[in-house]
Amino acid sequence: MKNIYQESIQAVENGTKFKVDFKTRSFKLNGQYIIQNSQYEGNLGVELCASLDEFLSNVEHLYTRYKHSIPSTMSECKNRKYFKALSDKDLEDEDMLFGVGRDIAQVELELYILCQIILGIGWDANKMGKWFWQSNKDRDLVILKNWVTVEK
């Protein structure tokens, strides 16, 4: 894969299953490691954010897309989800008309965060808290410190 982020999103659009694991810094497509323990071939396709504020703003945007995305049978079968999305009965008509598929929105969000972690986005306890960061825009959006930092 030359551009991991874009090519992975395209693969998921075509029905490929995926799994992101923040703690092991790994990403699988169809059961095959694309990123394993922060190691990968090619280009992540994502640049390290210039600031923590930029990173958090981007995550909030991607999370909003995910939260209002349209669920599929495959997305609803997943037993482990890092983030909470609205059920189909809680979605607005506008979400159903213009929203993206849940799997696509989920891989965009989770893989973006994983790429930023691998590239070295840091944890600022003054800005993000001691154990987790919670968005002021949407209290359902939480990022755990142990996803971002490696415990020594």
Amino acid letter, residue 143: I
98 pLDDT tier (thresholds 50, 70, 90) = low
Asked if pLDDT for residue 99 goes beyond 80, the answer is: no
> How far, rounded to the nearest angstrom, does the alpha carbon of residue 111 sit from its chain's CA centroid?
5
Asked if pLDDT for residue 59 goes beyond 90, the answer is: yes
Report d(CA 142, CA 136) in Å as an integer.
Answer: 10
Closest CA to 86 of 100, 104, 66: 66
pLDDT digits (tens, 9 = 90+) for 37-58: 999 998 999 999 999 999 999 9
Task: Give strand ranges (E) for the chain.
Answer: 18-21, 26-29, 32-36, 39-40, 132-134, 142-144
Q: Residue 98 contacts by C-beta under 8 Å, 6 or more apart in sequence? A: none
Closest CA to 119 of 5, 32, 1, 2: 5
Against a cut of 0.85, is the pTM above it? yes
pLDDT digits (tens, 9 = 90+) for 101-123: 889 999 999 999 999 999 999 99
Closest CA to 117 of 23, 29, 43, 3: 23
Asked if pLDDT for residue 76 goes beyond 70, the answer is: no
Greater confidence (13 vs 2) lies with 13
Report d(CA 113, CA 129) in Å as an integer.
Answer: 18
